[in-house]
Structure 1
Amino acid sequence: MIKPTRAPLSLAHDPRLHCDYAQLVRMQAHATSFNLLPNAKIGTPLDGRHTSKLRGRGLNFEELRHYQLGDDIRNLDWKVTLRTGKPHVRGYSEEKDRNVILCVDQRSSMFFASIEVMKSVIAAEVAALIGWRALRESDRVSSFIITDHGIQKGKATRNQGGFLAFLKKLSKSNLTLNARPSNTRVPSFSDLLQQLSRLGSSGNTIFILSDLSDMTETDIDRLHALQRNNDIIPITITDPVEQALPSQLIETQWKVGDGDYQISLDSEKQRQLINQSFSSRAQSRAQNLSRLLSSKKLPLIELTTDGEHIRQFTQCAGGHA
């Protein structure tokens, strides 16, 4: 059990645009209202994701009781047996160690919102929330922060000091985001998956917090490969404008671009064509992610920029806001 951490004073900024260290520390207060893996079930003694209900030669002593027919004689407590004259056995609960990996997208493409809160802020706050919950369950937490300038890998830790150091790095990355385009090559989602594939470990619970705007079909195949030996939980962050452009944009003659190309929205036909493309892409992504998660019956978590992301996440994770 971790002790509540007193959050430092927030910096003078709009919390909808950026999140500072104090903002991420305060997420600890919400870390009791959900489960990290709400649908996880223990299969075999070698195939668990957390504390097993099976009794055996585990790590945690649970009880001392009278011997019953069928008990493993290797668990006999000879001192108590000799002292009482009756056979006693020691019962254990198996500890299923878990490593939670937080992959947080803090690239400039996440510095966007048409309603209330930037996608980059949502990713950072929910990552902090998941990390605080993992620490409460005595799990290890490691991290990858993907920025315009590279991918920062954080060491696994299960202590509060190590996690606070991660939150400082995360807030620093978030506070540097702005609307100016980057002049350097921005790491792609594929680059992140390559690093995850090189971990060489299994049994991890990997949370990916991103809008997945540059996810490719090859990336989906890599996610399926990772899912064989890990729990992959993508948390997608979207904005309504990315689903369908409103008709009012034609009156203002908006220009839409991707950094290299742009188009002027000056007709209803153009708007409908773009919306069809948006809808097709969103539907394809949802179907791919649903297939990815269905093998382990994990939830598909989609968050929006309307400022209700904490409530949305805790509900998707089987909790309450």
Structure 2
Amino acid sequence: MAVTMQTSSTHWLDVMHSNGIRVTSAELMYYRNKVAAFQRHQRLQPPKTQTGAILSKHKGRGMEFDEVRHYQAGDDVRSIDWRVTARTGTPHTKLYREERERPVMVIVDLGPTLQFGTQLLVKSVQACHLAAALGWLAISRNDRIGGLISSGQDHREVRPQGRQHGMMRLVQALVEQQHRSNDSPTQATQTLDDLIQRTQQVARPGTIVHCISDWLTASHDTFDRLLAIRRHCQLHAYQLTDPFELDMPLPAASNPLAITDGLQTPLVMDSQQRNAYLAAMQTKQAELQQHFQQLGVRPLRVDAGQALEQQWAEVMR
């Protein structure tokens, strides 16, 4: 569903070869060349108490303790285990195993509520842009990228893979599922809770999980499942928004807002309906804030009315 209005971002859409409604693979490949700029604002480093699930045989000063052995020439003196050295009378060194190629999963909700946009992109297209940017960042760190992409009717699973293989499969899945959702925006048979439940089943311990949605259809069960995921994975949440959802302009009596999905008769919204809508949206946002606080995760808000690269620093702050 899109609100017809003039946007000041026509040039950006032309550069991206985008109509803002149906995502293309070219749009998602665009972010491959933006990794260096995005990394300057990247804050998604794992907490010191968390490590990756995949361990290499290479010994080094990593996060995971491996063993203590006799000190050898060339060992880093900072790794000397002074307690064992004092007890045995001979120098001993602590060895560690380094985390390697962490699995990263992007969980993308492209359901009916994300087929809405008023200024630059519909939310589902911006969700795909964000997923692609996070995917290319993962590839740049030599992590394995995969994901679950829901159209609201079904979902596609992309098993985490390294190098370009996983990323190209992810791009294909994003495009296919966004088009599927865009073609049938009101025929939802799979809920956000279904998507998170499947994530809970397939995300291995230590996986970095990026959940992308507008969260408008999230339930108590959704957050219970997210809590279960957070216990074993590094969880990040992103909230897609549109400017009209948070601050809908007051329509003039002679010029009410016309909202259409391009197929059905437009919905005309007067000032009374507008105020009721905003009140309901404010209540929903307050509920979501409370749920995320209880979860211990701060959702990063992404505006579909602005180019992703223009807000990346704020998103990753």
Give the Cα separation in 1 of the matches to 2:81 and 2:276. 72
Counterpart in 2 of 1:283?
286
Give the Cα separation in 2 of the matches to 1:38 and 1:89. 31
- Look up the SS of the partner of 2:74 in the other structure: strand
CA contact (8 A) 2:156 2:177 kept: no
Pair 1:157-2:157 in alignment? no
1:188 to 183, 191, 194: 191
With normalisation by structure 2, the TM-score equals: 0.74
Please report how far the alpha carbon of residue 176 of structure 1 lies from its aligned counterpart in structure 2 after TM superposition.
4.5
Question: How large is the Cα RMSD of the aligned pairs?
Answer: 3.7
- Look up the SS of the partner of 1:247 in the other structure: coil
- Look up the SS of the partner of 1:169 in the other structure: helix
Counterpart in 1 of 2:110?
106
Counterpart in 2 of 1:174?
178
Pair 1:134-2:133 in alignment? no
Counterpart in 1 of 2:222?
219
Q: Alpha-carbon deviations, 1:67-107, whole Å to 9, x = none?
A: 7674989xxxxxxxxxxxxx997965522552211111223
Please report how far the alpha carbon of residue 235 of structure 1 lies from its aligned counterpart in structure 2 after TM superposition.
0.7
Matches within 5 A, 1:66-81: 70=82
Pair 1:18-2:22 in alignment? yes
Please report how far the alpha carbon of residue 289 of structure 1 lies from its aligned counterpart in structure 2 after TM superposition.
1.9
1:132 counterpart letter in structure 2 = W
With normalisation by structure 1, the TM-score equals: 0.73
Pair 1:309-2:312 in alignment? no
Pair 1:38-2:44 in alignment? yes
Change (3 A) 1:72 1:20: farther
Counterpart in 1 of 2:209?
206
Give the Cα separation in 2 of the matches to 1:301 and 1:12. 24
1:38 counterpart letter in structure 2 = L
- Look up the SS of the partner of 1:64 in the other structure: coil
Give the Cα separation in 2 of the matches to 1:209 and 1:274. 24
**Percent identity at matched positions?**
19
Please report how far the alpha carbon of residue 286 of structure 1 lies from its aligned counterpart in structure 2 after TM superposition.
2.3
Matches within 5 A, 1:81-92: none
Change (3 A) 1:56 1:107: closer
Unmatched tracts of structure 2, length 5 or more: 1-13, 56-60, 68-72, 86-90
CA contact (8 A) 1:36 1:134 kept: no
CA contact (8 A) 1:254 1:264 kept: yes
Q: Alpha-carbon deviations, 1:116-174, whole Å to 9, x = none?
A: 12211111111111111111112121210101330111111012123212212212333
Unmatched tracts of structure 1, length 5 or more: 1-9, 74-86
Give the Cα separation in 1 of the matches to 2:112 and 2:189. 9
- Look up the SS of the partner of 1:41 in the other structure: coil
Counterpart in 1 of 2:243?
240
CA contact (8 A) 2:207 2:234 kept: yes
Please report how far the alpha carbon of residue 223 of structure 1 lies from its aligned counterpart in structure 2 after TM superposition.
1.4
Corresponding residue pairs, total:
283
Counterpart in 2 of 1:121?
125
